[in-house]
């Protein structure tokens, strides 16, 4: 499996069974997707920073709500969560996703703004790779993101939704999250290539560079 960060909360997850693009963003974020092709698009929040599905090529199936889905041999579970610190619909709905491909479970938390509840955590159990917002705003900040990681216990953590030289949204830099995690800043990687056999024994943080 190959995971590439396209900016903000958008990733391309390319596997043998299917290609998934998460939370495609428009240029208001500062990022330009470059029209990636996909079989499936997941949408966490209905705003242009997360639901620019028309920017994805290939006539993908769009999933934008909670439930269980089987598409192109991919198994996807959408979990209702919320934006902001309150765990209430008044904060705005966010849908987190667990995507199963190539015997791996990928968790994409979208724009979640609170530490998941016990029921939500149960649906996120056994996640191997976690894509987590860390830059604050209406989404998790560094400390809440680190707490969420400690509860989900993934093998690999990829931060997203933080300040870069491209990002136009007012967010914190990734360094704050790395400090909370006790992780050493390393050179960002262009992409993650991972299999079940290559997963680390303990949680590791991997920073990806934005595909330009």
Which residue ranges make up each domain of the chain?
A: 2-205
Residue 185 pLDDT > 90: no
Pick the CATH number of 2-205 from 3.30.430.20, 3.30.342.10, 3.30.420.40, 3.60.15.10: 3.60.15.10
Rg, the chain, Cα only: 15
| Model pLDDT for residues 10-64, shown as the tens digit of each residue | 999 999 999 999 999 999 999 999 899 999 999 999 999 999 999 999 999 999 9
Q: C-alpha dihedral over 13, 200, 162, 62, to 10 degrees?
A: 20
Distance CA 156, CA 154 (A): 6
Distance CA 29, CA 204 (A): 28
| Burial of 36 (C-beta count, 10 Å sphere; 0-12/13-18/19+) | buried
| Model pLDDT for residues 82-119, shown as the tens digit of each residue | 997 776 676 789 999 999 999 999 999 999 999 999 99
Q: C-alpha dihedral over 36, 157, 160, 87, to 10 degrees?
A: 120
Q: Residues 6 or more apart from 87 whose CB is under 8 A from it?
A: 81, 114, 117
């Amino acid at each position: 499996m190959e995971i590439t960060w396209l900016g903000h909360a958008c990733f391309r997850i390319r596997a043998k069974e299917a290609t998934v693009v998460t939370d495609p963003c428009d240029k208001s974020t500062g990022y330009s997707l470059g029209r990636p092709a996909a079989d499936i698009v997941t949408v966490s929040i209905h705003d242009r920073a997360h639901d620019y599905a028309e920017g994805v090529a290939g006539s993908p199936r769009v999933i934008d709500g909670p439930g269980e889905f089987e598409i192109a041999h991919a198994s996807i579970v959408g979990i209702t969560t919320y934006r902001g610190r309150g765990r209430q619909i008044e904060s705005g709905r966010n849908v987190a996703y667990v995507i199963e491909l190539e015997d791996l479970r990928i968790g994409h938390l979208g724009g979640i703004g609170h530490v998941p509840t016990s029921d939500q955590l149960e649906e996120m159990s056994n996640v191997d790779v976690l894509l987590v917002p860390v830059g604050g705003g209406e989404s998790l900040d560094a400390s809440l993101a680190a707490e969420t990681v400690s509860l989900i216990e993934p093998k690999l953590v990829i931060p997203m939704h933080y300040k870069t030289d491209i990002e136009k949204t007012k967010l914190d830099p990734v360094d704050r999250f790395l400090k909370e995690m006790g992780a050493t800043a390393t050179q960002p990687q262009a992409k993650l290539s991972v299999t079940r056999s290559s997963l680390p024994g303990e949680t590791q943080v991997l920073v990806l560079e934005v595909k330009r």
